[in-house]
């Protein structure tokens, strides 16, 4: 029980590090929460016009997801699951930012890479394909989340599949505003061109 609790606390604290906010402030791009969707994730960092900053945010958010799950793995399967759940919750609801964080997509990918890499790979490929076809990051995230839950039910053991389904549900719920904008035809598109 101690290991599970420790993994959850470490996971939450790792998850709550707002890399997107920190990096954009260091780079003199202001408060990322005041542009675009107001999120602290890589997609919103991309809206500052800096692809390197967005890529670094993506990498660090993925790394904290994988790191939290792997720290838990060093103790037990249950601790790995606790760390994986807590890191996504920490990213989505960071205590330092009044519990207003990101959507959890990149951090969830990190957890999947650590705990179910085939699911992570397939979900990431679906994200890329959806984003390339329709240029909606939110739609790509929703497709990847649903796919990850479905794939996990087939490819991994029940405990990890349940965690992945729970994370997918959280990611979907965090995109509720995006879903409304997609339905209204007012969602912002992402650009893969130069810049």
The domain segmentation of the chain, as residue ranges, is 2-184
191's CB contacts (< 8 A; 6+ apart) are 135
Check if the beta carbon of residue 95 is closer than 8 Å to that of residue 22.
no
- Count Cα atoms within 13 angstroms, Cβ side, for 41: 26
pLDDT at 195: 47
Report the alpha-carbon distance of residue 111 to residue 84 in Å, rounded: 6
* Length of the chain, in residues: 195
Report the alpha-carbon distance of residue 174 to residue 164 in Å, rounded: 15
193's CB contacts (< 8 A; 6+ apart) are none
pLDDT at 64: 98
173's CB contacts (< 8 A; 6+ apart) are none
pLDDT along the chain (195 residues), means of 10: 96 98 94 88 90 96 98 97 98 95 97 98 98 96 98 97 98 96 93 58
Class of residue 154 by CB neighbours under 10 A (exposed 0-12, middle 13-18, buried 19+) = exposed
Question: CA 18, 177, 65, 166 torsion: positive or negative?
Answer: positive
pTM listed for this prediction: 0.95
pLDDT at 166: 98
pLDDT at 38: 84
């Amino acid at each position: 029980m101690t290991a599970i609790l420790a993994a959850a606390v470490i996971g939450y604290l790792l998850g709550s590090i707002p890399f997107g906010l920190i990096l954009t402030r260091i780079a003199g791009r202001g408060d990322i929460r005041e542009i675009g969707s107001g999120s602290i994730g890589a997609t919103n960092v991309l809206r500052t016009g800096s692809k390197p900053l967005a890529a670094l945010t993506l990498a660090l958010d993925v790394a904290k997801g994988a790191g939290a799950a792997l720290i838990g793995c060093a103790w037990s399967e249950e601790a790995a699951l606790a760390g994986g759940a807590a890191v996504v919750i920490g990213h989505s609801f960071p205590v330092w930012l009044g519990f207003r964080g990101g959507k959890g997509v990149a951090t969830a990918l990190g957890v999947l890479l650590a705990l179910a890499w085939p699911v992570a790979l397939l979900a990431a490929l679906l994200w890329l394909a959806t984003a390339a076809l329709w240029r909606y990051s939110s739609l790509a995230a929703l497709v990847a989340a649903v796919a990850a839950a479905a794939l996990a039910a087939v490819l991994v053991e029940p405990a990890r599949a349940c965690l992945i389904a729970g994370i997918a549900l959280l990611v979907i719920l965090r995109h509720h505003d995006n879903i409304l904008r997609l339905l209204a035809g007012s969602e912002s598109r992402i650009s893969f061109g130069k810049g």
